């Protein structure tokens, strides 16, 4: 089975097969549809809009560039109702005197980014997917096997009705950290175990967060607090892996005491922690982003430490860059295009991965001699305007050569 669509100047486009209907895969499908490019999206689970809020849901910190990109592909209008602006980011380390702040007003923008429940973004993506006209969605469905063709791939897709065979020009793996597509392509991945576990939940602080997000480092790992609607906050608490079971067993009062000890009292007394479960933290980096008529994006390409909330932000820039390069061509799988994609993504990908990895290795290092140096570095970022702007722009997602969809006019 082939699904081709006409090009404006004659000829036809051959479809792109996207395996993985998560946040990044769905975003790519929407971006391709907006560009008039046919695509097939294989989703492991049947789509479902979850309109029921939850006090223990996962929250996403969306960089300003990410919001620009979601707006450009028509998703933000469906999701923005649940978003909370981040107007300031405060970074510090427990027991040390240095701190730095990124401020939206100082950068001439109304917000550095937004906090959004993952449920809200997922629902917005599903609503936008329903508007697509160039997209074929197979859900629930899984990729069983694939065979190389001279001009693409023959993919065998398992659906409830049986196996469907599709011939496509380009195969995109957007199927997460343990990507089956990456493995079937023979792309190796380097894994680094941080020996840490992550707890995510929603809390209520005594004081108004006033649009402030906090990142606080300590020997045991970072703690992040994100602003949410109704004066709530999202808490991201990292602990050493050997303590994960003990922390998971804490009752609400004991867990809040731990969070308070790790975060401090900048927002007063914390209360009402939601349900939480430990998630092991590993860094997984694909040895290459492209193969023969194939690409891996999002977590399939790189899974980074959640510090700085860079995972989806980086993955969306993958998706939008790929869509930008595919839009004007008849053959989305040509080798030169994929080589250009890999080159375009390298500075952003490598810089973001180095930043997140380096921060964990240095900011959480149990070495008292580094304390004054860390504090001086934070003070420099806070008081030297060129450094402020350098860090703020990267925090907002403007790194390397971003896709055009995320750009804006900045002072």
Beta strands in 98-151 (DSSP E): 99-103, 113-117, 135-138, 142-149
With H, G, I as helix, E, B as strand and everything else as coil, classify residue 82: helix
CA angle 96, 102, 107 (to 5 degrees): 155
Q: How far apart are CA 62 and CA 71, in angstroms?
A: 12
With H, G, I as helix, E, B as strand and everything else as coil, classify residue 116: strand
76, 67 contact by CB (below 8 A): yes
Domains and CATH numbers, the chain: 5-190+281-406 (3.50.50.60)
The whole model's pTM is what?
Answer: 0.90
Q: How far apart are CA 223 and CA 306, in angstroms?
A: 10
Q: Does the CA dihedral 62-64-68-69 come out positive or negative?
A: negative
Measured from the Cβ of residue 265, the count of other Cβ atoms closer than 10 Å reads: 11
Q: Express each pLDDT in 33-64 by its tens digit.
A: 999 999 999 999 887 665 444 444 689 999 99
Mean pLDDT computed over every residue of the chain: 87
> In the sheet where 59-63 sits, what is the strand order?
59-63, 113-117, 84-86
Q: Express each pLDDT in 304-354 by its tens digit.
A: 988 766 889 999 999 999 999 999 999 999 999 999 999 999 999 998 888
> In the sheet where 170-173 sits, what is the strand order?
135-138, 39-42, 16-19, 170-173, 294-296, 290-291
Query: How would you classify the pairing of strands 16-19 and 39-42?
Result: parallel
Query: How would you classify the pairing of strands 88-93 and 212-217?
Result: parallel
Q: Which residues pair with 15 in a beta bridge?
A: none
DSSP letters along 230-283, please? TT-EEEEEEEEGGGHHHHHT--HHHHHHHHHHHH-STT--EE-------EEEEE
Q: How far apart are CA 234 and CA 274, in angstroms?
A: 10
In tens digits, what is the pLDDT along the chain, a chain of 411 residues? 444 444 333 345 789 999 999 999 999 999 999 999 999 999 998 876 654 444 446 899 999 999 999 999 999 999 999 999 999 998 887 766 567 788 999 888 999 999 999 999 999 999 999 999 999 999 999 999 999 999 999 999 999 999 999 999 999 999 999 999 999 999 999 999 988 999 999 999 999 999 999 988 877 788 999 999 999 999 999 999 999 999 999 999 999 999 999 999 999 999 999 889 899 999 999 999 999 999 999 999 999 988 766 889 999 999 999 999 999 999 999 999 999 999 999 999 998 888 777 666 555 555 554 545 554 455 455 555 665 566 666 677 887 788 999 998 543
């Amino acid at each position: 089975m082939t699904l081709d669509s006409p090009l404006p100047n004659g000829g036809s486009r051959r479809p792109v097969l996207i395996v993985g209907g998560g946040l990044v895969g769905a975003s790519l499908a929407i971006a391709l549809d907006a560009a008039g490019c046919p695509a097939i999206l294989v989703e492991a689970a049947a789509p479902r809009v979850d309109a029921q809020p939850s006090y223990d849901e996962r929250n996403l910190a969306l960089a300003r560039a990410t919001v620009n990109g979601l707006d450009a592909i028509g998703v933000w209008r469906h999701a923005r109702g649940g978003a909370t602006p981040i107007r300031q980011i405060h970074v510090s380390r427990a027991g040390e005197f240095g701190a730095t702040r990124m401020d939206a007003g100082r950068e001439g923008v109304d917000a550095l980014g937004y906090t959004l429940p993952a449920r809200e973004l997922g629902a917005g993506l599903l609503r936008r997917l329903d508007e697509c006209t160039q997209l074929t969605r197979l859900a629930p469905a899984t990729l069983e096997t694939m065979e190389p063709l001279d001009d693409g791939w023959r993919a065998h897709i398992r659906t409830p009705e049986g196996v469907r065979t599709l011939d496509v020009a380009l195969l995109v793996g957007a199927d997460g950290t343990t990507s089956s597509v990456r493995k079937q392509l023979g792309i190796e991945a380097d894994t680094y175990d941080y020996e840490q576990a992550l707890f995510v939940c929603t809390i209520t602080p005594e004081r108004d967060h006033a649009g402030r997000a906090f990142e606080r480092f300590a020997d045991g790992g970072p703690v992040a607090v994100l602003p949410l609607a109704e004066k709530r906050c999202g808490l991201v608490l990292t602990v050493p892996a050997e303590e994960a079971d003990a922390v998971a067993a804490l009752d609400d009062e004991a867990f809040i005491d731990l969070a308070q000890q790790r975060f401090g009292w900048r927002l007063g007394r914390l209360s009402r922690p939601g349900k939480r479960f430990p998630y092991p933290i590993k860094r997984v980096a694909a040895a290459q982003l492209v193969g023969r008529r194939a690409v891996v994006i999002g977590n399939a390409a790189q899974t980074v430490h959640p510090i700085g909330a860079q995972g989806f932000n980086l993955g969306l820039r993958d998706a939008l860059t790929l869509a930008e390069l595919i839009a004007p061509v008849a053959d989305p799988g040509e080798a030169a295009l994929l080589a250009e994609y890999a080159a375009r993504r390298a500075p952003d990908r490598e810089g973001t991965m180095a930043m997140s990895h380096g921060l964990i290795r240095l900011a959480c290092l149990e070495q008292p001699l580094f304390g004054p140096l860390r504090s001086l570095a934070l003070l420099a970022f806070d008081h030297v305007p060129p450094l402020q702007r350098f860090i703020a722009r990267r925090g907002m997602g403007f790194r390397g050569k971003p896709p055009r969809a995320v750009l804006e006019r900045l002072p």
